[in-house]
């Protein structure tokens, strides 16, 4: 079993049967992997992106209990103490763990400009959240203008939501 598959399996187990959380992570992972591969990320960057996409919402169960919701700032605040031991248990290197933790701790922060791995995760998460939240066309168009930087991400959002 590949490292990504072991991480996916572990995250599905961690989700304790929460179908929404499981399908959300699988969709975000799929879009992130696709965008990263099409944008030509290095093997190391792609691994960081893949792992980040798998664990990006690891703090949601904690946030639901602690705060009663999964608002982005709460997710970011609670991520580090969950991501680090989760990835250590799966024997990731300290370098990968630190980089993934940074991406996950900032996966609702749109002002970070020069980090392609982070940007791709934002784009993949937006694509999935647009459907899950029932965003209207105007909100999706605004998201595309303000969030999307990659050619592949822009093509996906257009083809999925804006192709009349």
Distance CA 35, CA 58 (A): 21
pLDDT tens, 144-158?
A: 999 999 999 999 999
Distance CA 90, CA 110 (A): 29
- Where residue 109 falls among pLDDT bands split at 50, 70, 90? confident
Nearest to 102 by CA among 124, 87, 90, 123: 87
116-128 mean pLDDT: 97
50-56 mean pLDDT: 97
Is the model's pLDDT at 32 over the cut of 90? yes
24-48 mean pLDDT: 97
Identify which has the larger pLDDT, 127 or 110.
127
Is the model's pLDDT at 95 over the cut of 90? yes
Helical H segments across the chain, by residue range: 3-14, 19-38, 43-55, 60-66, 72-89, 94-105, 116-133, 137-146, 151-157
**78 contacts 103 by C-beta, under 8 angstroms:** no
**4 contacts 36 by C-beta, under 8 angstroms:** no
pLDDT at 71 (0 to 100): 78
pLDDT at 112 (0 to 100): 85
Total count of residues recorded for the chain: 164
pLDDT at 76 (0 to 100): 84
Nearest to 124 by CA among 43, 44, 42, 57: 57
Q: What percent of the chain is predicted at pLDDT more than 70?
A: 100
Is the model's pLDDT at 164 over the cut of 80? no
Q: What percent of the chain is predicted at pLDDT more than 90?
A: 83
Helices 43-55, 116-133: crossing angle, 10 deg rounding? 30
Is the model's pLDDT at 163 over the cut of 90? no
Please state whether the predicted TM-score (pTM) of the whole model is above 0.85: yes
């Amino acid at each position: 079993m590949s490292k990504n598959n072991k991480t996916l399996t572990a995250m599905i187990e961690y989700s304790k049967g929460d179908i929404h959380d499981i399908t959300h992570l699988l969709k975000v992972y799929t879009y992130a992997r696709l965008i990263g591969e099409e944008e030509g990320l290095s093997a190391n960057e792609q691994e960081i992106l893949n792992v980040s996409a798998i664990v990006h919402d690891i703090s949601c169960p904690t946030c639901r209990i602690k705060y009663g919701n999964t608002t982005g700032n709460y997710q970011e605040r609670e991520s580090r103490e969950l991501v680090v031991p989760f990835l250590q248990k799966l024997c990731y290197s300290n370098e990968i763990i630190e980089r993934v933790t940074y991406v996950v701790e900032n996966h609702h922060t749109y002002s970070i400009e020069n980090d392609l791995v982070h940007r791709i995760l934002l784009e993949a998460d937006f694509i999935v959240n647009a459907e899950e939240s029932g965003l209207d066309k105007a909100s999706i168009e605004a998201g595309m203008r303000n969030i999307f930087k990659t050619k592949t991400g822009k093509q996906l959002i257009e083809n999925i939501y804006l192709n009349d």
